[in-house]
A and B are shown apart, each in its own frame.
Chain A
Amino acid sequence: MSLDSLLNFLYHVLTYSIFAYSAVLICFYLFIGLYSIGETRKYLHKNSFTDYRLLAASPHAPSVSILAPAYNEGKTIVENVRSLLSIYYNNLELIVINDGSKDDSLQRLIDAYELEGRDFFVNYQIPSKPVRKIYKSSNAMYSKLTVIDKVNGGKADALNAGINIASNNYLVCIDVDCILEQDALLKMIKPFLEQTDEKVIASGGVIRIANSCVIENGRLVKVRLPESYLPRIQSLEYIRAFILGRMAWSRLNGLMLISGAFGAFDREIVIKCGGYNHNTVGEDMELVVRMRRYMEEKRQKYRVTYVPDPLCWTEAPESFTILGRQRNRWTRGTFETLKFHRKMFFNPRYHVLGMLSYPYWFFFEMCAPIVEFFGFICFFLFVLLGLIDWEFFAVYLLFIICFGYLYSAFAVLMEVITYHQYKRRIDVFRLLLAALTEPFYFHPFVVWSGILGFRDLIKKKKSWGEMTRKGFAAASPPSGRQTQRDAPDGPR
């Protein structure tokens, strides 16, 4: 075979592979969009009969431990904890884990909540860095609160320490600076009470973008579409992911990810699985995959549920630097999780998880930045060599952009039909407008961040990266606080 024919052969293989890849992805998007409709309808109809107050006050309601890791959150920690203490649920303990903060977070908590150190036997069922001291309040008003002071070990380690201390059957892991709706916990716990022959092992909630929203005393008062471009486009991204993607995967019982910012878990299964993994920056996804894998290997019927109500509001990155770090970390987290559980790849023993969810994540979430980046390189190369058939290229590009826009518009439509968070027509218009710009401005940046994520993987970089965030407290000056997270865990 001559070099020319070999190159020709490779060229054809590549072209057809990419074409097949694109066609399958389009089919997936069509399927996800349409399949999510039924599940959303069912949830809304069902929810209209639910009186959550019943669960809040009932002595038969399950006991819940909220785990909120905090690192250098001194400027806002007191208010954030106050907000969490006001959550509408009776049978509750709130465990705040001070993960070796270098600032005065702990002292502020001690002063504000009249905390006293207690002798406490910590059973390290899951490995975590040593706990220095456990604090409980001497004031009965704050009897639900427990504060753990531990040696710094990262978010996964902090959550593991919390799991070791938690005494209740269900764990709700949240980011301490998230704003929760008052009935968020009730809605998250209800799926566990509805289980029949399938054990509910975890339940995920929707994360929405709180930038530009009005927040008073740790509560969301008014929902507004973010003023800045980046948070706005992320709002669209989150709507698409949570209203369409998660809903469809939930219906298939194929969810692989519950956002680290707000998720509920069955404590027993979490412990049996060994808790959060310290060796990945995508510990939220890794835990869910491991729990599912455990249940599959034990041949137990199970379900990972999803609550589509907007329950948790978080601050999205407003600068490209921070957004880049977030997407970089998501890429690394996805890669690491898929690598740990590669055994499941197209393995029929793992049913939907192995045959559908894992391959989808592998091809269309993990590999997508590489495929796209490769495409961009080829494009520039072909432009330089004058090989572009501009007419075909223009029509094909138009087709892709139109399809992407159609998908976004459909997500906006579903949002308007269902939760209708952005009431003003101008907000909907701005969302639709943002969708137009996405492929040219936001999306290439996301691809580039993914590539940097792969670069960091090769360099074996393990850090989360640091960020400064504005914080929600409008009355207070920007906190400039640094967290061990670089940005909230969103839809990926």
Chain B
Amino acid sequence: MLNHPLFPGCCLLQSGESLLRFIRLRYLLIAVEFISICIAVMVIFIYSLLYFKKKTHLYKVRLSRHLEVWISAMIFHESGESPGISQKFHRIVRNPAGRQFVIDELVACKKNFTGLAAKNIVALYEELGLKPHSFKKLGSRQWHIKAKGIQELYLMDQSDTLTRIYKNTNNKHELVRMEAQIGVLHLTGFDGLRFLDVISYPITEWQQLKLLEQLKHSKLTDKVGAAIPRWLQSPNSTVAQFALKLADEYQQLGLHDAVAACLQHPDEAVRRQAVRTLIRIGNETTPHWLTAHFPEETPGNKLLILDNLGKIASEEEVPFLTGLLDDEDNIIKLKAARALAVSSCFGLAILAEKSKEQPSLYNDIYCHVKSEIAL
């Protein structure tokens, strides 16, 4: 809310005698004049901006109409050679705004095409002489321009800039670092993950998600399986977390024990991911690892273990789960009951028996679990 407390101020200052010593009427008038000029400038600026925005919009609409037809002709040109660029387009790319628009359009197209069409887009980008402009951005001191340059270069498959891009994978600015890491993976696939050996900054979950998505377009190499145990030991806990996600995503069954060892990791997030990965690459020893580790875990991770234990537990875990029915936390009781009912053929019978002990609580849990299983 915008308050106007100066209203009371001016009411109380009405006689003005005391404060007039500090606020001369003349100075107040100058302030009013100054603010009025600022307002006028601001209003003019707003309308100039509206005019400029509209003009830019119309220019882009006009440009995109030409571009669409022309780019379509270029990217579907089967010979692989460019049909020739008109002078008009050279004129467009000489204008900075037009050039950026053309780059953005090409980048957007490149994201949506593969094969020959994608190659043609890259050829067009090079032929229009846009690469030096992207490369120039790479040297910018402004992080968003630098990140933009990296993005343009890797999306346009400019492999010769890999070294420059790679240098930025540990850049102090988060966005530059993120784009460089994605760029390296884009250009070299799984081999690009070598930045994990040296990175000193954290990789946020958002970035991990982006990296995994980027890797979907690459072919898995054996080197990754060999490198994951090393990354699991990384002093950067987010690297260990990401390595666990890699083991999960690419079903690295042979890494089961190395992953299980991460249950002792000091970082809770790493342990949480280790539980998730173990469930996905689990073998007959996994329930044992999880139940043995259970008492030391945080409440959140305990619930995660119980949520997943039902999928992999066997009759051997029945005593453990039955014991948890007496836990002081009702949610632990509920989740243990669910895991018990799912993993053991006697699970529901155990719960039914328990519900007789204390019907008000265990009967509700029993009915809840039964209702869930029936679905």
Residues of A within 8 A of B (CB): 12, 14-16, 18-19, 21-22, 25-26, 29, 45-46, 48-49, 54-55, 58, 60-62, 118-123, 125, 190, 193-197, 237, 240-241, 268, 364-365, 368, 371-372, 374-376, 378-379, 382, 387-389, 391-393, 395-400, 402-410, 412-413, 416-417, 420, 425, 428, 432, 438-439, 443, 446, 491-492
Contacts and interface: CB of A to CB of B under 8 A. Distances in A.
Nearest to A120: B368
B29 A60 contact: no
B261 interface: no
B284 to A, nearest CB: 25
B212 interface: yes
Given A55-B209, A438-B2, 13 more contacts: A19-B19, A22-B5, A49-B178, A61-B209, A119-B364, A372-B4, A379-B11, A393-B13, A399-B6, A403-B6, A404-B2, A416-B46, A428-B46
Contacts of A15: 12-13, 18-19
B253 interface: no
Contacts of A432: 43, 46
Interface stretch (B78-86, B121-129, B200-208): B200-208
Contacts of A416: 46, 49-50, 53
Nearest to A369: B3
| Shortest beta-carbon contacts, A-B, top 10 | A375-B8, A379-B11, A119-B367, A45-B144, A121-B368, A396-B10, A400-B6, A193-B206, A402-B35, A119-B371
B5 A25 contact: yes
19 contacts: A12-B18, A19-B19, A45-B144, A58-B209, A58-B213, A123-B331, A194-B204, A365-B1, A375-B9, A379-B7, A379-B14, A382-B15, A387-B14, A387-B15, A392-B16, A402-B35, A402-B39, A446-B1, A492-B1
A435 to B, nearest CB: 9
Given A119-B367, A364-B3, A406-B42, A196 B12 contact: no
Interface in B56-80: none
Interface of B: 1-16, 18-20, 23, 25, 28-29, 31-32, 35-36, 38-39, 42-43, 45-47, 49-50, 53, 143-144, 147-148, 151, 175, 178-179, 202, 204-206, 208-210, 212-213, 245, 300, 330-331, 334, 364-365, 367-368, 370-371
A425 B4 CA distance: 28
A121 B364 contact: yes
Output the residue of A374, A400, A420 with the most chain B CB within 10 A.
Answer: A400
Given A121-B365, A123-B330, A375 B209 contact: no
Contacts, number: 214
Contact of B50 (A121, A193, A237, A428): A428
A22 B7 CA distance: 9
B58 to A, nearest CB: 13
Contact of B7 (A19, A29, A400): A400
Nearest to B14: A388
State the main secondary structure of chain B at its contact with A: helix
Contacts of A118: 371
Contact of B204 (A119, A196, A368, A409): A196
Contacts of A372: 3-5, 7-8
A29 B14 CA distance: 24
A395 B25 contact: yes
A421 to B, nearest CB: 13
Contacts of A412: 46
A152 B367 CA distance: 25
A491 B2 CA distance: 11
A376 B151 contact: no
Contacts of B208: 60
A60 B212 contact: yes
Contact of B39 (A379, A409, A439): A409
B11 A413 contact: no
B369 to A, nearest CB: 8
Contact of B45 (A122, A379, A413, A492): A413
A282 B16 CA distance: 40
A21 B212 CA distance: 54
A111 B3 CA distance: 48
Contact of A393 (B14, B144, B371): B14
A255 to B, nearest CB: 16
A440 B234 CA distance: 64
Contacts of B6: 22, 25-26, 396, 399-400, 403
A438 B370 CA distance: 61
Given A119-B368, A420-B53, A389 B2 contact: no
Contact of B5 (A49, A371, A388, A446): A371
Nearest to B203: A196
Contacts of A18: 5, 8-9, 12-13
Contacts of B300: 268
Contacts of A397: 7, 10
Nearest to B212: A60
A400 B10 contact: yes
Output the residue of A12, A26, A378, A392 with the most chain B CB within 10 A.
Answer: A392
Contacts of A237: 1-2
B332 to A, nearest CB: 10
B334 A425 contact: no
Contact of B32 (A21, A379, A399): A399
A382 B11 contact: yes
A281 B209 CA distance: 40
Contacts of B370: 119
Nearest to A364: B3
B50 A425 contact: yes
Contact of A121 (B12, B29, B209, B334): B334
Given A60-B212, A119-B367, A119-B371, A405 B39 contact: yes
B5 A120 contact: no
A388 B11 CA distance: 8
Contact of B13 (A19, A364, A425): A19
Contacts of B178: 49
B16 A14 contact: no
